[in-house]
Amino acid sequence: MAVSTDIRQVTLADADTLLTLSRKTFFDAFLPTNSPEAMEAYASKAFTPAKFEQELNNPDSQFFFALVDGTIVGYIKLNYRTAQTELQNPEALEVERIYVLNDFQGRQIGKQLIDFAIQTAKAKSLKSVWLGVWEHNNKAIKFYKSKGFEQFGSHPFMLGNDKQTDILMRLVLNRD
Ligand SMILES: CC(C)(COP(=O)(O)OP(=O)(O)OC[C@H]1O[C@@H](n2cnc3c(N)ncnc32)[C@H](O)[C@@H]1OP(=O)(O)O)[C@@H](O)C(=O)NCCC(=O)NCCS
């Protein structure tokens, strides 16, 4: 059943909450299909207080929480300009991360987060929204395709020492 979701920007004061949520959703999503060593090697670098403080202070990155009845149930990370992990096209927006807690998945919370990203890009007159998704993450790939994203490339992604392939997907905004 779809639920109505509030979306609010994450601030520095939320850094601890964001870190806990990021680690939890990352491990819940990918530990079943990856080695614990590779997961921890990645997480120990990507999910640290110092890294999050730096990312929250970057004016070209924004995090937003999704809330249902006041409870935080997911988040999205948006990158602009040089904060984008690659391409760094100033007319594009990157969705670097989008995660919904397991218990809340399938209720259109992810859809509301990605719609928010698309609306944000349109409001800033950007021309596209893009993201990288693990080639074996079929659920997320199906989810992005349902929003009109199409594959435009791929790139290697290091999960610890495990070299994986991310599919790059893009939604072009200025067709109509
Ligand atoms: C991918 C993710 C953000 C989607 O969020 P969500 O709230 O579960 O998705 P929604 O309920 O908004 O569903 C949107 C669409 O996704 C697809 N979808 C959702 N749940 C699905 C499921 N269990 N199986 C297959 N497709 C599904 C459907 O196409 C759905 O469209 P519909 O509502 O018209 O049927 C969420 O599942 C998640 O956090 N996954 C783990 C982390 C992850 O993989 N993040 C992406 C990294 S690139």
What per-residue confidence (pLDDT) applies to 2? 85
Q: Is it the case that residue 53 has pLDDT exceeding 60? A: yes
Classify residue 40: in a domain, yes or no. yes
CA of 30 to the centre of ligand 1 (A): 14
Q: How confident is the model at residue 176 (pLDDT cuts 50, 70, 90)?
A: low
Is 175's C-beta closer than 6 angstroms to any atom of ligand 1? no
What per-residue confidence (pLDDT) applies to 19? 98
Classify residue 46: in a domain, yes or no. yes
CATH number at residue 99: 3.40.630.30
d(CA 104, CA 5): 11
d(CA 99, CA 29): 9
Average pLDDT, whole number, for the chain?
96
CA of 110 to the centre of ligand 1 (A): 6
CA of 54 to the centre of ligand 1 (A): 29
Query: Considering only CA atoms, which residue is closest to atom 29 of ligand 1?
Result: 143
Q: Tell me: the pLDDT tens digits for 22-52? A: 999 999 999 999 999 999 999 999 999 999 9
The catalytic residues are: 144
Classify residue 27: in a domain, yes or no. yes
* Residue 125 CB neighbours (<10 A): 9
Pocket probe for ligand 1: among 105, 149, 170, the residue whose CB has the most ligand atoms within 8 Å is 105
Is 139's C-beta closer than 6 angstroms to any atom of ligand 1? yes
Classify residue 18: in a domain, yes or no. yes
As a whole number of angstroms, the longest Cα–Cα distance in the chain is: 46
Taking a C-beta distance cutoff of 8 angstroms, is the pair 129, 171 a contact? Answer: yes
Classify residue 1: in a domain, yes or no. no
Taking a C-beta distance cutoff of 8 angstroms, is the pair 162, 141 a contact? Answer: no
Task: Supply the range of the domain harboring residue 148.
Answer: 6-172
Is 106's C-beta closer than 6 angstroms to any atom of ligand 1? yes
Report the domain count for the chain: 1
Taking a C-beta distance cutoff of 8 angstroms, is the pair 28, 105 a contact? Answer: no
